[in-house]
Amino acid sequence: MIVTSSYCPVCGIAILYKFPLFVLFDHFNVPKTAGFPDHPYRGHETITYILKGKLAHEDFTGVQKALLPGDLQFMRYEEEYIQ
């Protein structure tokens, strides 16, 4: 299953548990002051690629990283995490 979206703030978490495998392409802009609240991750992978601007990311262990244009971030969640 391939899902495309122009904006998906939390990517419809409920849909993650209905399908064994799918690909979600999500392209969006966020204001400089925006952020994502803590949310669950389990059994999936995320790839973030920055086209322009920058993204400050902090994972559940407290590791912080600034992503710049051309940077790619890959994360795999095999067990359940709240991030």
- Is 13 in contact with 40 (CB distance < 8 Å)? yes
CB 36 within 8 A of CB 56: no
pLDDT tens, 6-27?
A: 445 555 555 555 555 667 777 7
Domain total in the chain: 1
Q: How confident is the model at residue 70 (pLDDT cuts 50, 70, 90)?
A: very high
- Interatomic CA distance for residues 48 and 73, integer angstroms: 5
List the domain range (segments joined by +) for residue 38.
Answer: 2-82
CA distances 68 to 4, 53, 55, Å, are 23, 7, 7
Provide the residue type at 61 as one letter: T
Contact predicate 58/80, CB 8 Å: no
